[in-house]
Amino acid sequence: MILTLLGLLVITFVIARVVPIDPVLAVVGDRATPELYERTRLELGLDRPLYVQFYLYLRQVLSGDLGNSVLTSRPVIEDVARFFPATLELATAATLLGVVVGVPMGVLAAVRRGSWLDHLVRVVGLAGYSIPVFWLGLVGLLLFYAELGWVEGPGRLSVGYEDIVDPVTGVILLDAALAGEWDVFRDAFAHLILPASVLGYFSLAYISRMTRSFMLDQLSQEYVTTARVKGVSEARIIWRHAFRNITVPLVTVIALSYAHLLEGSVLTETVFAWPGLGAYITSSLLNVDMNAVLGGTLVVGLAFVGVNLLSDLLYRVLDPRAR
């Protein structure tokens, strides 16, 4: 984990130095005097050797200082703390949907291999891989928001409910529940349904496909045949024996899906005007705010590594052999 994070720091440092963007001009602007330009360049340490610059960059990051955002004029770490909970809320809801629906779909498809149900699950999974997320989001907004009015539109809250709940955790559903503001909770949930369903569909497609593959492998094992010969019920064979044996690889699949949603929800956040980390990084990139881009990238990398570490720790709980 430490080596992975160190490699991520090296890559972000190199990117910051090779992109055709002058970091000094990003700070002082195009109309700065030569004296101000040179003074800022010295303050940023750009006159020093690269290994010294990397040491200073590493020390700065380890102290929790990701620099200041040119776009918002605030420390990047504060911007990340403000925008990341929205991405966390969206990715968590999408992953829960993918697990709750995708796992049973994959199990049933494997049990009914070759049936119409199996083909339906495979088609749903293939569509999830093939349909562009931005197109599905736009169609969802047009159909379920503009035409049918079943869900709320873009954003996390309606204008009338903003600033009612104090952002204790940054997750609006949790903050509204803690404050007892159930009207805000319902409005936030109505805004979350559509973007979470769009993201959850892609998570569902991946999880159901991998669950089907894992279950087909287990159902072909000799212990399943032996259990059937002994007269064990089919439901017990499927859920007590075969499914328990796929929990460890399935945890890895779910963890990877969750991590990808944390880093890959940029288009969904853009379509639904969701104020998350992906939209923040995209806006910063378009405005040549490299401190914000690199800081956001580091946070996403840390989240990715953290989720994988958590899945490794869960192995010890789910598989006695790992202990």
What is d(CA 275, CA 170) in angstroms, rounded to the nearest whole number? 11
Residue 309 or 103, more confident: 103
* Contact (Cβ atoms closer than 8 angstroms) between residue 86 and residue 274: yes
Residue 321: other Cβ atoms inside 10 A:
7
**Looking at residue 32, what is its pLDDT?**
73
- % residues pLDDT > 70 (the chain): 96
Region of poorest pLDDT, from 38-42, 84-88, 100-104, 144-148: 38-42
pLDDT in the model for residue 312 = 82
The residues pairing with 75 across neighbouring beta strands, listed in sequence order, are 68
Looking at residues 224-251, what average pLDDT do you find?
87
Q: Tell me if 26 sits within 8 A of 293, measured CB to CB.
A: no
Alpha carbon distance 57, 308 (integer Å)? 26
Residue 26, pLDDT > 70, answer: no
Rounded CA separation 177/193 (Å) = 17
Map out the domains of the chain as residue ranges. 2-62, 80-273
Average pLDDT of the segment spanning 268-291: 82
Q: What is the pTM of this model?
A: 0.83
| pLDDT digits 0-9 by tens, 247-279 | 888 988 898 888 888 765 777 888 888 888 888
pLDDT value at residue 264: 59
Given this model, what pLDDT does residue 105 score? 93
* pLDDT of the residue at 181: 87
The pLDDT of 43-48, averaged and rounded, is: 74
Interval 161-171: pLDDT, tens? 888 888 888 88
Residue 270 and residue 308: Cα distance in Å, rounded?
A: 27
Contacts of 113 (CB under 8 A, 6+ apart): 216
Task: Flag whether pLDDT at 82 surpasses 80.
Answer: yes
80-273 CATH choice from 3.40.50.920, 3.40.630.40, 3.40.50.720, 1.10.3720.10: 1.10.3720.10
pLDDT at 213: 92
Give the pLDDT of residue 29.
67
What pLDDT sits at residue 322? 67
Q: Is the pLDDT of residue 160 over 70?
A: yes
| Averaged pLDDT for residues 45-66 | 80
**In which element (H, E) is residue 141 found?**
none
Average pLDDT across the chain, whole number: 85
Given this model, what pLDDT does residue 107 score? 92
What does the pLDDT look like over 65-78, one tens digit per residue?
A: 887 787 787 888 88
**What single string gives the DSSP state of each residue in 211-242?**
HHHHHHHHHTSHHHHHHHHTT--HHHIIIIII
